[in-house]
Amino acid sequence: MTLLALVVLLTAGAQVALLLGFATLLLLRRERSAIGARGGEPGRRPLDDLAASRHWWRRAEAARRSGDVARLGDRELLNRLLDDPHPAVQSAATASLAPLVDARLVGRLLDRLPERPMAIRLQQFGLLRDALPLTAATLMERLTLDAPPRRLKSWIALVETLGSPELLARVAALHSHPEPLIRLSVARALRHYRHPEAEEMLLIALHDHDWRVRAVAARSLGRHGNVSAVPRLAAGLRDVRWWVRFRCGLALAQLGAAGRGALDDARRDVDRYAGEMATMIAGLSPDSVIELSEG
């Protein structure tokens, strides 16, 4: 093929692509005009046909276009798309919610968080973070001991993401919840709350009957960096669970000279398992301690 023929071929291809682009643009404009016209029919709302399609990609297209509908207040359509069984449709609907954010919508999002796939949940976390004043006020009403545990777990995870001291203080009040997974979630969230009250509750959690709660509490205390926790963490090196001993050892390694001194003493402990754990942790480099503590 000669150079001239190649140039002609490339030029023709570019022209075809340009024509296809114009055709697609005209088609989209025609569809939007038709949707707008149907929206005026009695008993009919915009995008109903797309939203009712059996194909998820058409429903996702309805969700993507619903940003315009949101400004008109078509909440019923958006709610239907948010509850669609396909995650792609839920994601597209979530991306169109910004014009509609108010206390009622925030409450609906919070109540449905546990049912969302993780990717959608994280996306909605971002939306709720952008509306922090509304989210905080709505969460404060819901963070109670009698809230459904499944919802409460999701709300505590959201509070951990938001990092609001006011909300973290409310979460701290749930440290005695009867459900172990809620106590675990509280202990995890409190690593972001550097407050004497939080540290006291984490020290209490070191004696929780559920070993998972004890391990997470030790991890959070290491993050706080308060040397007053050294004696309790040193005692945790004798825990019956390996993972708790490991977390207590890592926490001690994060607490400076006092923590390292406690590890050195534990290496000579009469408790064989405490001594072995202390020896292993003491041999880690500072970078390894940080990496393992965050893992």
pTM of the model: 0.77
Higher pLDDT, 75 or 209: 209
CA distance 164 to 195: 13
Q: Among 17-21, 33-37, 86-90, 96-100, whose mean pLDDT is lowest?
A: 33-37
Residue 2 per-residue DSSP state: -
Per-residue confidence (pLDDT) for residue 289, from 0 to 100: 95
Per-residue confidence (pLDDT) for residue 55, from 0 to 100: 66
Per-residue confidence (pLDDT) for residue 52, from 0 to 100: 66
Per-residue confidence (pLDDT) for residue 51, from 0 to 100: 67
Per-residue confidence (pLDDT) for residue 232, from 0 to 100: 97
Task: Provide, rounded to the nearest whole percent, the portion of the chain with pLDDT above 70.
Answer: 76
CA distance 183 to 4: 74
Contacts of 204 (CB under 8 A, 6+ apart): 175
Residues 229, 238 contacting (CB under 8 angstroms)? no
Per-residue confidence (pLDDT) for residue 40, from 0 to 100: 46
Higher pLDDT, 279 or 49: 279
CA distance 38 to 184: 52
Task: Provide, rounded to the nearest whole percent, the portion of the chain with pLDDT above 90.
Answer: 64
86: left (phi over 0), alpha (psi -120 to 50) or beta: beta
Q: What is the mean pLDDT of the chain?
A: 85
CA distances 38 to 47, 73, 80, Å, are 9, 17, 19
Per-residue confidence (pLDDT) for residue 71, from 0 to 100: 47
pLDDT tens for each residue of 127-159: 999 999 999 999 999 999 999 999 999 999 999
CA distance 169 to 162: 13
Instruction: Tell me the CATH number of domain 199-295, given options 1.10.10.10, 3.30.450.40, 1.10.3720.10, 1.25.10.10.
Output: 1.25.10.10
Per-residue confidence (pLDDT) for residue 68, from 0 to 100: 56
Residues 68, 57 contacting (CB under 8 angstroms)? no
Per-residue confidence (pLDDT) for residue 25, from 0 to 100: 47
**3-state DSSP percent of the chain in helix, strand and coil, to 5:** 75, 0, 25
Task: Please determine, for residue 60, whether its predicted confidence score (pLDDT) is greater than 80.
Answer: no
Higher pLDDT, 183 or 88: 183
Q: Among 59-63, 266-270, 288-292, whose mean pLDDT is lowest?
A: 59-63
pLDDT tens for each residue of 16-37: 565 555 555 454 455 555 545 5
Per-residue confidence (pLDDT) for residue 117, from 0 to 100: 92
Mean pLDDT throughout 86-98? 85
Per-residue confidence (pLDDT) for residue 42, from 0 to 100: 44
